[in-house]
Structure 1
Amino acid sequence: MLSNYTKEFRQNLKIAYPVMLGQLGHILVALADNLMVGRLGAAQLAAVSLGNSLIFIALSLGIGFSFAITPLVAEADGANDTQTGRNYFHHGIVMCALNGILLFVLLLLAKPILYYLDQPVEVVELAIPYMDIVAFSLIPLMVFQAFKQFADGLSNTRYAMYATLVSNVVNVFFNFILIYGFWIFPRLELVGAAYGTLISRFFMLWMLYYILSRKKKFQPYFVWTRRKAFQLPIFKKLFDLGFPTAMQMLFEVSLFTSCIFLSGILGTNAQAANQIALNLAAMTFMIAVGLGVTATIRVGNQKGKADFENMRRIAFSLFLQVFLIEAVFAVGFILLKDILPTFYIDNVEVILLAAQLLIVAALFQLSDGLQVVILGALRGLQDVNIPTFICFIAYWLVGFPVAWYFGQEDQMASQGIWYGLLAGLSASAVLLYIRFNYLSRKLIHQVSEGKTTAG
């Protein structure tokens, strides 16, 4: 019966809404940058898009590794094993901090790539100093991710939300005084937006640490591990889960990034329109991300209890819920396609191009939402290798060829690029569903056989 699934909606949202708002907070940092920088002109807005393209690739890798913490902590929590959960948490902090430093260095080394991507020269020259500063902000952001994923694993998702939302106020404040210049502060334009992001991410990390370290529930986890107590097998388990997850995110984000580059080939206005549509689509995507994290937590808990029938039912309730929510967003994009881009820029050509892209974005809302929630459920099962292979096939053997061919100026131009995104996301959703359906049925069958044998 349908009620078997809909009765889980309330509990799903209870866990998911802080994640949704917290993830939306990250997007709002980019939104604040886009809205405030967009007033400087199309070239500046395109530069933010180009600079963030490499940042987002690095960010996807770092966040992917941090996602390994959540299912392991959730499983330990389901089994009431605090010591194991603490070990995963402490090792996860070290892993994420090292990742942040490594990603910062790699981004500094990767800057010259921007000159070889056939992008407008004025856009590249504006993007590089912006990228330098935002790259450094990945260090505090990665450590923040370790604390966030740990708290998520314990089904406490609201504290990261608080830190993220408050940090947005910090970001907007420093954006205003540093982008445009106010009182004693100089007018730094794009560089000012980058400094606003950097300051807000250090603040976000401090605030989450402050909250968690003072909550009674978390105090057993804040008994810090001695250096000699760090164990290679635990790092290996985090890596075995984190690396495939990072690859999953890399394959998807790099597809979107390649579409930024393809848009840049079409010109500055096309790239600015692409950035507007991406930013709007990313905000609705964060709702699905919240439910995806919820799927990881709830499936991980049920795995710890070995209750696979309820695990499957809960997972399917999440699939249904995200489908219904994303359908509402799809209708909204279609109805408001001519209005939403005007909040970013007053360039008529850019607005018209962005409105066309929002029609395609409306279509892939459903498959995008489904694929991220199903991927979260598979992560809760700690099944990451086959889904990584699926993501590669969907995004790079299906999505990119469609985007490249139809995205050429003599084909469908910008819309063709976005049809490539639609194709890749739809393929991912279908294949991942097949995988989860197979695994969940297999686990239920194994338990049933075990009971029959025992009887």
Structure 2
Amino acid sequence: MTIKEHLRKNIVLATPVIIGQLGHIMVSVADSVMVGRIGVIPLAAATFAGTIYHVLMLFGIGVSYAITPKVAATDTKDRPRLLKFLQNGFFMNLGLGILLFTLGYFASHFLQYFGQEVPVAEAAGSYLIIMCGSLIPLMIFQTFRQYAEGLSDTFSPMAVSVLANLLNVFFNYMLIYGKLGAPALGLNGAGLATLMARIIMFTVMIWWVKGKISGFEWKYDWSGIKDLLRIGLPSGLQYVFEIGAFATAAIMVGWIGAEALAAHNIALNLAAISYMAATGLAAASTIRIGNQIRLKDRRNLRIAGFSSFGLVTVFMAGCGLTFILLRNVLPALYIEDATVQVTAASLLVIAAAFQISDGLQAVGLGVLRGLTDVQVPTIVTFVAYWLIAIPVGYWLAFHGGYGVQGVWYGLSIGLTISGVLHIWRFNRLSKKIKFV
């Protein structure tokens, strides 16, 4: 295949995945935009609860990614083996969803110890419980989504995610503001809307792909689950280390004040949109690499990987330019507070600077996951964010006099280091991979 053909295939495969990935983050964006209209405290509470919730959610999503490279590297005619991955993945994800909800429930009882303003911590508790409850149907959805994507069917999950996102906005309108005869539940209404939309989402997804899962049986084998966890747990930890760093950053920003935290939420919401699009490209690159491993084609494996790096660079550069040009417009969509808008605009400029680094590290994890190389990238992610980004951000914010902007400078450094090291490792491993 030529580079042009690889680029075309990457785009065709990645576009539905990107839209589907955006469905996850757009839930939070819709919540923030609509909750922001009822005040700074609810918006700050959504941010605070969201920092914990997103760590749990992305860990779960990361673990579920183990299904895709296994399916992508399997002959499509070997249906019993494919269904085995699906069945083991289902029970793995169901158990994980219940565990994540339990962790979120207990965390909700200790929010007052994170140094946030009292009204913010109080409002965040019940919202966090509801959002973590939605992780159970989300993880069931992820099982069938990753299975379908491993078979190169990226359209079905995308269509279902779009439907769920539209339902979430509709339910938000009803339950946040008390429209169409529903009670006005404010922030908790946003959480209930998400829960309802995700229950519908996994139900529709199973119905949609029923032809691909015929023969599914309610059984599993523990050795198969352990095989998936061998890839999934490090992949999940990669997200925990990265998103956990952003969550810790939000907590540090909360020490500065509710207005700074609200501005951080707005800028992070917008940066998360481009990031989730990049993870869509990363998911597509995992599929492409898995397919080339099945074909034992080293040359096209390397081209598929590097063409993914090229695509994400161009895409994230465009996102960065958008953030700069619209830095004074986008925050106004969230909140009317002028101080929050100005602070958020300054953070969007910093976000623009690290867009390419963010995209490269995301795709780097994707191509390495396709090679089933997950241990070393996990260590790289931990070092880049927890030993470099967070300490540097803390020092710049509270000792260097940069405030909330200092926290974001630290995150930018961590993303850049991570991206460079992932590219270096893919180049090295793809040259010497041994096909079996």
Structure 1 and Structure 2 fold alike (TM over 0.5): yes
- Separation (CA, whole Å) in 2 of partners of 1:409 and 1:341: 28
Q: Which residue of 2 aligns with 1:195?
A: 192
Provide Cα deviations, 1:86-116, integer angstroms capped at 9, x if missing partner: 1111100110000001111111111233111
Partner of 2:236: helix, strand, or coil?
Answer: helix
- Separation (CA, whole Å) in 1 of partners of 2:241 and 2:31: 25
Q: Which residue of 1 aligns with 2:15?
A: 17
Select which of 240, 252, 255 maps to 1:250. Answer: 240
Q: Which residue of 2 aligns with 1:110?
A: 107
Q: Which residue of 1 aligns with 2:215?
A: 223
Q: Which residue of 2 aligns with 1:134?
A: 131
Distance 1:6-1:359 versus aligned 2 partners, 3 A rule: farther
Residue 409 (structure 1) shift:
7.1
Say how many residue pairs are matched: 436
Q: Which residue of 1 aligns with 2:309?
A: 319
Select which of 45, 54, 78 maps to 1:47. Answer: 45
Larger CA Rg, structure 1 vs 2: 1
Select which of 118, 122, 138 maps to 2:119. Answer: 122
Whether contact under 8 Å (1:103, 1:138) holds in the other structure is yes
- Separation (CA, whole Å) in 2 of partners of 1:247 and 1:36: 31
Structure 2 residue ranges without an equivalent (≥5): none
- Separation (CA, whole Å) in 2 of partners of 1:20 and 1:318: 13
What's the TM-score once normalised by structure 1's chain length? 0.93
Partner of 2:373: helix, strand, or coil?
Answer: coil
Q: Which residue of 1 aligns with 2:268?
A: 278
**1:154 maps onto 2:151 in alignment:** yes
Whether contact under 8 Å (1:77, 1:301) holds in the other structure is no
Partner of 1:95: helix, strand, or coil?
Answer: helix
Select which of 56, 62, 72 maps to 1:74. Answer: 72
Please tell me the residue identity of whatever aligns with 1:93. F
Q: Which residue of 1 aligns with 2:392?
A: 402
**1:31 maps onto 2:21 in alignment:** no
Partner of 2:431: helix, strand, or coil?
Answer: helix
Greater CA deviation, 142-151 or 179-188? 179-188
- Separation (CA, whole Å) in 2 of partners of 1:340 and 1:426: 25
Residue 225 (structure 1) shift:
2.6
**1:93 maps onto 2:90 in alignment:** yes
Q: Which residue of 2 aligns with 1:264?
A: 254
Q: Which residue of 1 aligns with 2:346?
A: 356
Whether contact under 8 Å (2:74, 2:294) holds in the other structure is yes
- Separation (CA, whole Å) in 2 of partners of 1:374 and 1:82: 30
**Which runs of structure 2 are paired with 1:397-436 in the superposition (5 Å)?**
397-408=387-398, 411-436=401-426
Provide Cα deviations, 1:237-261, integer angstroms capped at 9, x if missing partner: 1010111111111100100101110
Please tell me the residue identity of whatever aligns with 2:65. F
What's the TM-score once normalised by structure 2's chain length? 0.97
Residue 224 (structure 1) shift:
2.1
Partner of 1:279: helix, strand, or coil?
Answer: helix
4+ runs deviating over 6 angstroms: none
Please tell me the residue identity of whatever aligns with 2:197. S
Residue 182 (structure 1) shift:
2.0
Provide Cα deviations, 1:293-320, integer angstroms capped at 9, x if missing partner: 1110000011111111110011111101
Provide Cα deviations, 1:10-66, integer angstroms capped at 9, x if missing partner: 211111111111111112211111111000011110100111111111112211110
**1:232 maps onto 2:232 in alignment:** no
- Separation (CA, whole Å) in 1 of partners of 2:228 and 2:23: 26
Q: Which residue of 2 aligns with 1:453?
A: none
- Give the RMSD, CA atoms, in angstroms: 1.5
- Separation (CA, whole Å) in 2 of partners of 1:410 and 1:437: 37
- Separation (CA, whole Å) in 1 of partners of 2:33 and 2:399: 28
Please tell me the residue identity of whatever aligns with 1:113. F
Aligned-pair identity (%): 42
Whether contact under 8 Å (2:87, 2:218) holds in the other structure is no
Q: Which residue of 1 aligns with 2:319?
A: 329
Residue 337 (structure 1) shift:
0.7
Partner of 2:184: helix, strand, or coil?
Answer: coil
- Separation (CA, whole Å) in 2 of partners of 1:77 and 1:259: 44
Residue 410 (structure 1) shift:
5.8
Provide Cα deviations, 1:263-303, integer angstroms capped at 9, x if missing partner: 10110000000000011001111221111011100000111
Whether contact under 8 Å (1:62, 1:142) holds in the other structure is yes
Greater CA deviation, 175-184 or 13-22? 175-184
**Which runs of structure 2 are paired with 1:334-353 in the superposition (5 Å)?**
334-353=324-343
Provide Cα deviations, 1:114-156, integer angstroms capped at 9, x if missing partner: 1111101111111111111111111000110111111110110
Please tell me the residue identity of whatever aligns with 1:42. V
